[in-house]
Amino acid sequence: MSLLITEECINCDVCEPECPNGAIYLGEEIYEIDCKLCTECVGHYDTPQCVEVCPVACIIKDPDNEESVEVLHHKLLALSGKAS
């Protein structure tokens, strides 16, 4: 599944540059995560980097976008142009 930034976001700007897929962007009020680009850092890091740096722990698994590690890895390959 992809990740979701909750309303507790304080717009501190630390998560956006940590995303290797460019999935995090500033929305109208808080930062948001594009579920089509989020791979939870699968293929890049052992843990989601945005979660690691968030000072208020407002990044959770998105219950509306459940994906297995295999699906996240396939998404990474597709995003990198390496999917077969």
Return the structure tokens found at 51. Answer: 């979660």
CATH number at residue 28: 3.30.70.20
pLDDT tens sequence across 40-68: 999 999 999 999 999 999 999 999 989 99
Radius of gyration of the chain (CA): 12
Strands (E), the chain: 3-5, 24-26, 31-33, 59-61
Does 50 fall in a domain? yes
- How much is the pTM? 0.90
Domain count of the fold of the chain: 1
What is the per-residue pLDDT across 6-37, written as a single tens digit (0 to 9) for each? 999 999 999 999 999 999 999 999 999 999 99
Contact 36, 21 (CB under 8 A): no
Cβ-contact 49, 41 below 8 angstroms: yes
pLDDT beyond 70 at 81: yes
Residue-number span of the structural domain to which 24 is assigned: 3-79
User: Among residues 45, 40, 25, which one has the least CA distance to residue 70?
Assistant: 40
pLDDT at 82: 81
> Do the domain assignments include residue 84?
no
